[in-house]
């Protein structure tokens, strides 16, 4: 039994087109971070006039907690090629309402595509220029691959960072997942936006 490292994982960004465009991120630094699940409603304790007895019970709290976003982050090495331009254009397109194209393709938001409560599509943002992407992270295991799909991830352009070191210049990406978090065993079929 061998441990898995960043050498065994891949990361893709997806848009909301019917057959989605995706951008597989090469040269990511291997610092991906994201939760294994999405929030649930809180349990609120109800006591019998402040006393713990057989009548005490829990009730489900409001849905605000269920709908809270969860953080997702990863870094990519900047290099002298088209993929760096495509990543920067992807981020810009998700922040300017799809005006910026990626390799001549207009991106479509994934917002309102999933249901955190299991019944109602998640709401759209008040600012229609904020678009979301899905992020899929897949670990190749040699048997059944393991991965996670983060739906409706907002990557605010003003919160993305560029950093430099002796090893290289890095684009540090961080976003908030407003949709569902689900396990996957393969990447979603789509069209490579770089093709």
DSSP string, 68-87: --EEEEEEEE--SSHHHHHH
Give pLDDT, residue 167.
84
Question: Tokens representing 83?
Answer: 């993929």
Question: Can you name the CATH fold of 6-40+68-192?
Answer: Pnp Oxidase; Chain A (2.30.110)
* pLDDT tens string 16-42: 999 999 999 987 788 999 999 999 999
Give pLDDT, residue 1.
61
Give pLDDT, residue 178.
98
DSSP string, 18-62: SS-EEEE--SB-S--B--SS---PPEEEE-BTTB-STT-EEEE--
Residue 136 CA to residue 150 CA, distance in Å, equals 6
The answer to whether the CB of 38 falls within 8 A of the CB of 178 is no
Q: Look at residue 187 and give its three-state secondary structure.
A: coil
Where do the domains of the chain lie? 6-40+68-192
* pLDDT tens string 140-176: 887 888 999 999 999 999 999 999 988 889 999 999 9
Residue 10 CA to residue 67 CA, distance in Å, equals 28
Average pLDDT, the chain: 93
């Amino acid at each position: 039994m061998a441990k898995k490292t960043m050498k065994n994982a891949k990361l893709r960004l997806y848009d909301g087109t019917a057959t989605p465009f995706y951008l597989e991120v090469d040269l990511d630094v291997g610092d991906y971070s994201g939760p294994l699940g999405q929030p649930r409603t809180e349990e609120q304790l109800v006591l019998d006039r402040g006393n713990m007895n057989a009548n005490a019970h829990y009730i489900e709290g409001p849905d605000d907690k269920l709908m809270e976003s969860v953080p997702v982050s990863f870094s990519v090495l900047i290099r002298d090629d088209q993929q760096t331009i495509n990543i920067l254009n992807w981020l810009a397109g998700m922040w300017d309402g799809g005006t910026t194209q990626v390799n001549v393709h207009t991106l479509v938001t994934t917002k309102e595509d999933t249901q955190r409560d299991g019944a109602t599509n998640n709401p759209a943002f008040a600012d229609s220029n904020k678009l979301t992407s899905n992020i899929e992270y897949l670990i190749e295991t040699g048997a059944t691959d393991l991965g996670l799909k983060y739906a409706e991830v907002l990557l605010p352009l003003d919160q993305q960072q560029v950093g430099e070191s002796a090893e290289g210049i890095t684009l540090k990406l961080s976003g908030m997942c407003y949709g569902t978090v689900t396990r996957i065993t393969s990447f979603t079929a789509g069209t490579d936006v770089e093709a």
